[in-house]
Amino acid sequence: MLVASLLFGLTACAGTTPQAPRASAPVDTTLKKAAAAPALPAEDVTKYRPAFAAPKATPIAATAPAKTNVLPTNHVNAPVEQRLRDQAFTNQNVKYAQGYRLLVYLGIERDQVMAIRRTVIGRYPDETDYITFKSPVYRLYIGDYLTKLEAARAIARLRGLTPKLELEPTQVLLNKTP
C-alpha cells in the first residue's frame, strides 16, 4: 500500500514539473495586404446621380441703374439727446472717484512733515498735498491720480525727495478747479 501511494504521488508530480520556456516568435502586428482580388466591375451608379442643366450665360448690362444715396437728416433722435444731456449734467456733479495717492511721510514730528511738504510743493507746485493728523501720527499724502500709471510716474518724479513712497488706493478729488 505504501508503494502504491508512493508510485501514485510520483506520477502526480510528474505532470506538474516545470517545463523549459518555449522559444516563440513575436506576434506580427503589421497589416498584411490581402492578395489582389480580381477587380469586380463596379456597379453603375450614374443613374442615381442628379443631372443639372448648365447655367445660361446672361450678358452683363452695360449700364447699371445708379443707386441714390439718402443722407440722414437727423442722426440722434430727441429722447436719446435728452438722456445724453442728463448724463452729462450728472457727470458734472461727480466730485470723487476711486484712485490713488502717494503716502510720502508717516511719523510723529510735525516739523519734518512740513519740511517734506515744502520740498515737494517747491519742486512740483501743481501737486496737491493732504496732511492728516490722528494723534500722535502725521501722514502726508501727495496727488490725486486716477490710474496706477499716473501714480507710478509721480513715484518716479518724487523718488529722491521723500524718505518714503507708498501707493495707497483711496477716493480722489476729480475737479480741482473751483
Strand runs (DSSP E) across the chain, as ranges? 96-107, 129-134, 137-145, 166-173
Give the per-residue pLDDT at 28: 73
Give the per-residue pLDDT at 66: 72
Give CA–CA dist 117/142, Å, rounded: 9
pTM over 0.85: no
Give CA–CA dist 84/91, Å, rounded: 10
Give the per-residue pLDDT at 48: 85
Where is pLDDT greater, at 35 or 105? Answer: 105
Instruction: Give the three-class secondary structure for 172.
Output: strand
Distances from the Cα of 61 to the Cαs of 54, 58, 64, 67, 74, in angstroms? 21, 9, 6, 15, 36
Where is pLDDT greater, at 41 or 49? Answer: 49
Give the per-residue pLDDT at 81: 85
Q: Domains in the chain, please, with CATH?
A: 96-173 (3.30.70.1070)
Give the per-residue pLDDT at 33: 65
Give the per-residue pLDDT at 94: 85
Give CA–CA dist 164/161, Å, rounded: 9
Query: pLDDT tens digits, residue range 158-168?
Result: 998 888 899 99
Contact assessment for residue 131 and residue 103, using Cβ atoms and an 8 Å cutoff: no
